[in-house]
Chain A
Amino acid sequence: MSNEPESRVGSLQRSGFVVRKERLYGRLIAACAVLTILITVGIILALSGRALSFWSQISPIAFFTGTSWSPVIANDYGVLPLVSGTLIVTVFSALIALPIGLAAAIYLSEYASDTARSILKPALEILAGVPTVIYGYMALVYVTPLIDGFLPFSVQLIPAGMPILPEFTLVMPSLGTFNALSASIVVGIMIIPMVSSISEDALSAVPDSLRQGAYGLGSTKFDVSTKVVVPSATSGIVASYVLALSRAIGETMAVTMAMGMSPQLPYFPNVLRNLAESGQTITAAMVQIAGADSYGSGPTYEAMFALGLTLFAITLTMNILAEAVRRRFREEY
């Protein structure tokens, strides 16, 4: 914060007032920057105050290990069903977004012409720019019926009469009005650009000399892309994956609208049933509590802050992790 260069030059003609004025402006601007720290502090204070008050009524152990979430009817505050809902959406949206996003990043960085890139990049960004409430609406009203047309189906994975293994048929039932599949699909679509843009940055940062060297050894473009460029950019790609997952975990409106509000633990071993049925994520539970004003300031209302703190802790950890991966394993060229 030293103003020395100016004050030295300024001493030739500038009055003390001008110097003080400059210093004041500098402080005002620094205050703007420091405000961002206050936001973080504010989030932590706002969340932890009420969350602690909640955990003084409902024990944290019951909260984090409870298997039933039914705040109003049964006074059950077990968060596991909500965590399972969040995980289901995160995992299935990741199955969509991670490979597609990486493939798009490879195409944009290695294959696409300048014209194609100048069109496709903004187009991909639009995917993340569409309001999530519209994604939720589309999942509820268009995606669900569209996919339901192909259902139900079943695949017999382990036929009868095998030694040791029991007979097992994987059944995908028809979709309910609210289901995790449509929510996962739209969340997957909306986090594609997160993966593709950060991964593309990482891929483009790989120096051309590595590519030229590989070509010189007789590699094909396919080999250069998959065996040289992608491995060199692993840290950036992993960081983009973690950030995209964090975004999927925090996503709210689409999952609230498309997945419904019935928290439940996952079904095993028939995992596909989880997709066909309704569920509830952590974020959707918060929206539900906030939507019902009548809860006032009882434990249910404070549970919203406990959920928020949990969510904040999860996403913050993932964001820090992504940054750490990017810094730690960044290849120095």
Chain B
Amino acid sequence: MATDSAPGDELGRSRALRFQQLKGQLFEVGLVAATLVGIVSLLVLFAYISNDAFQPGAASPVWFLTYFGTLVGPTAAFTLYARRRPAVRTANATAFAAVFGGLLLSVVTYAVVDALSPYDVFLYVVFASLPPGLVLAYDRTTDDWAYTGPAIPVSILVGIGLAVLLDGPISGPLGIAAEWIMYFGLTTVPAGLLIGWLTAARRGRRAGGVAGGVVAGGGLAVAVASIAVGVAASLPVVLFSAFVVPTGYVIARSFRTNPEGRVGLAGPFVIIGGTLLGAAVVGQFGIDNPDTFLTPTLLLESWDGLTASNAGVYPQIVGSIIIVGFMAVLAFPVGIGAAVYLEEYAPDTGWGGRLATVLEVNISNLAGVPSVVYGLLGLALFRRTLGFGTGVVVSAAGTLGLLILPIVIVSTQEALRSVPDDLRQGSYGMGASRWQTLREVVLPEAIPGTLTGTILALARAIGETAPLVIIAVATTTYSPPSGLFSSATALSLQVFAAAANAKPEFRHGVVPAAAVVLLVLMLLMNATAIVIRNKYGREN
């Protein structure tokens, strides 16, 4: 026995080997520490920021106990329950996306439309959507109408042109109508059409018509009810059409298609109910709240550089959203087009191939250009050459659009590259042209990857500050931008400007709270991108 294991023992006990082992272990520990040190220091800094923003120290222990009992406890129990049941987990994820996505959609829609004036938005949306609608309707009546594709963008442009021309004469009479009717047209009608279309696809035309009618009737009922109660009807109408209807549809559908996971649908309501219950208990018994700076005032009022309790960043939030939204409209078509050219159209050899190589190198260099330099480009292009006013939405959106273009292109390229070539060949084999293959086969496959990359680009853009400083966007405005050529401001700029304010209630209160809002916006976008990637990325 002893002789058998002797060589092994010798090897095991050899001092050099033990030293080797120790060295390896220490190295691994060092690597783990290095990987974590950045993440941990950022978490510590986040903890500082949230401590200043929420001031939990001011809350009584009972406050924590209350919310632990109503919110944390039930949520943890629910999560534990859902963890080992895949059906429940799926339903829970769906319900979360539907409830919070719908809520966010309706609030953002209302804030943006409200800032830009509902009458103008309504006018432009109607004029931009009716002509392509007519083209599509005509397309249905005839076979193989080759003009449909080019006719749609042209008709949209014609519609917008008409809207610009007729803005004066129409907006007068339009202004007589109540505001909520505009919101009804902007949100309830599309919601009704969407639900009707989805229902019609599965249950036939008649059911679709009924579903659409129910949505429209519901919207009207909500409006009438809120007018009867004496509340402005606009926000309720938007909430009904962009939150209640889509969320209800998704949840009802999940309820039917995923019977084992029905319990999971309660997930978001456990959180919402827990928060409301906690608030009710805290209010009822007069328990000390945290002295938070993240108040409704901060979210809904405009800036006040003197009194911290009056300072709000509503114009900044809406400004950031409008700038980034318009930037997306400008940059995404161009970015996706450039990526499609490089991946699907560009030849490998000859002049075209050389051009493609130059384009690739150029794009990777553009991605490395510092953002201040893009600010200078924006300054020269939009202010000097095109003569736009100082710090208007178009300039800011255009500058940021140039900045994120390389990111959009690279991520779209990756998404297109991951589409298997068999699909393209199959499509060509069926007689489809290159464009048809692209539109019907390649782009739909590449959508999740493209979305992930572009949302990450949006998240980058919403935090960008330096180019906005360079093109002289105002740090503080007291109302959200009212149009594309009106001056705007962004949340990141307000954080930059207010950081210099030495008053403790700003430095350790309002500014961290504004930073938390900015971080939440950015993390929400990142989380959306990761969710999309995880949901669709694994299937290939």
Contacts and interface: CB of A to CB of B under 8 A. Distances in A.
A binds B: yes
Interface of A: 1-3, 5-6, 9-10, 14-15, 17-18, 21-22, 24-26, 28-37, 39-40, 42-43, 45-47, 49-50, 99-100, 103-104, 106-108, 111-112, 120, 122-124, 126-127, 129-134, 136-138, 140-143, 189, 192-193, 196, 220-222, 225-226, 243, 246-247, 249-253, 256-257, 283, 286-287, 290-291, 293, 304-305, 308, 311-312, 315-316, 318-320, 323
A100 B341 CA distance: 38
A250 B41 contact: no
A5 B336 CA distance: 24
Nearest to B38: A192
B435 interface: yes
10 contacts: A9-B431, A24-B150, A32-B341, A111-B31, A132-B466, A133-B492, A133-B493, A222-B27, A315-B368, A315-B370
A252 B374 CA distance: 12
**Interface-central residue, B146, B435, B460, B471, by most chain A CB under 10 Å:** B435
A82 to B, nearest CB: 13
Interface stretch (B42-50, B76-84, B94-102, B116-124): B42-50
Contacts of B48: 138, 141-142
A188 to B, nearest CB: 8
Interface in B448-506: 456, 459-460, 462-466, 469-472, 492-493, 495-496, 499
B186 interface: no
B129 interface: no
A104 B31 contact: yes
B364 A126 contact: no
Contacts of A112: 35
Contacts of A120: 35, 39
Contacts of B347: 1-2
Given A17-B146, A130-B463, A111 B28 contact: yes
Contacts of A287: 372, 466, 469-470
Contacts of A312: 369-370, 373
B508 interface: yes
B380 interface: yes
Contact of A286 (B27, B366, B372, B493): B372
Contact of B518 (A29, A131, A319, A323): A131
A18 B434 CA distance: 12
A133 B495 contact: yes
B340 to A, nearest CB: 5
Interface range for B: 35 or more
B459 A129 contact: yes
B508 A123 contact: no
Nearest to A225: B27
B433 interface: yes
Interface in B358-398: 358-359, 361-366, 368-377, 379-381
A316 B369 contact: yes
B376 A308 contact: yes
Interface on chain B toward A: helix, strand, loop, or mixed SS?
Answer: helix
A54 to B, nearest CB: 13
B433 A22 contact: yes
Contact of B522 (A33, A37, A129): A129
B365 A40 contact: yes
Given A129-B459, A130-B522, A251 B42 contact: no
Nearest to A286: B372
Given A36-B405, A124-B35, A10 B366 contact: no
Contact of A39 (B147, B366, B368, B518): B366
B345 A22 contact: no
A32 B337 contact: yes
Contact of A40 (B362, B431, B435, B526): B362
B364 A141 contact: no
Interface in B113-150: 146-147, 149-150
Interface string B339-363: 0111001110000100000110111
A314 to B, nearest CB: 9
A220 B146 contact: no
Given A37-B359, A106-B31, A222-B27, A25 B435 contact: yes
A100 B34 contact: yes
Given A126-B526, A138-B48, A283-B370, A253 B496 contact: yes
Contacts of B381: 42, 46
